[in-house]
Structure 1
Amino acid sequence: MDFSESGNQKINIENSTIALYIKREDLLHPYISGNKFRKLKYNLVQAKKENKNTLLTFGGAFSNHILAVAAAGNSNGFKTIGIIRGEELVDKVNDNPTLKRAQDFGMDFEFVTRESYREKESLNFKERIKQKFGDVYIIPEGGTNNLAVKGCEEILTSKDEKFDYICCAVGTGGTISGIINCSKSSQQVLGFPSLKGDFLREDIRRFVTKSNWELITAYHFEGYGKVSEELIKFINEFYQKYTIPLDPIYTGKMVFGVFDLINKNYFADNSKILMIHTGGLQGVAGMNKFLKQKNQLEINSND
Structure 2
Amino acid sequence: MTRSLAYFTDVALRRHEGSVTTREGDVTVVRSPQNPTFWWGNFLLMPAPPVPGDLARWEALFARHHPGAAHRAFGVDTGGADAGDAAPFVDAGYHVLRDTVLTAERTHPPRRVTTDATFRPLLSDADWAGALTLRMAVNAADPDGHEESGYAEFSRRKLASYRRAQEAGHGAYFGAFDDGAVLSGLGIFDAGEGVARYQSVETHPDARSRGLAGTLVHTAGGWAREHLGARTLVIVADPEYHAQALYERVGFTPTEVQLGFQKRPATD
Do they superpose with TM above 0.5?
Answer: no
The higher radius of gyration belongs to 1
Query: Normalising by structure 2, what TM-score?
Result: 0.26
Query: Normalising by structure 1, what TM-score?
Result: 0.24
Report 1 or 2 for greater relative contact order, CA contacts < 8 Å, sequence distance ≥ 6.
2
| Higher helix content, 1 or 2 | 1
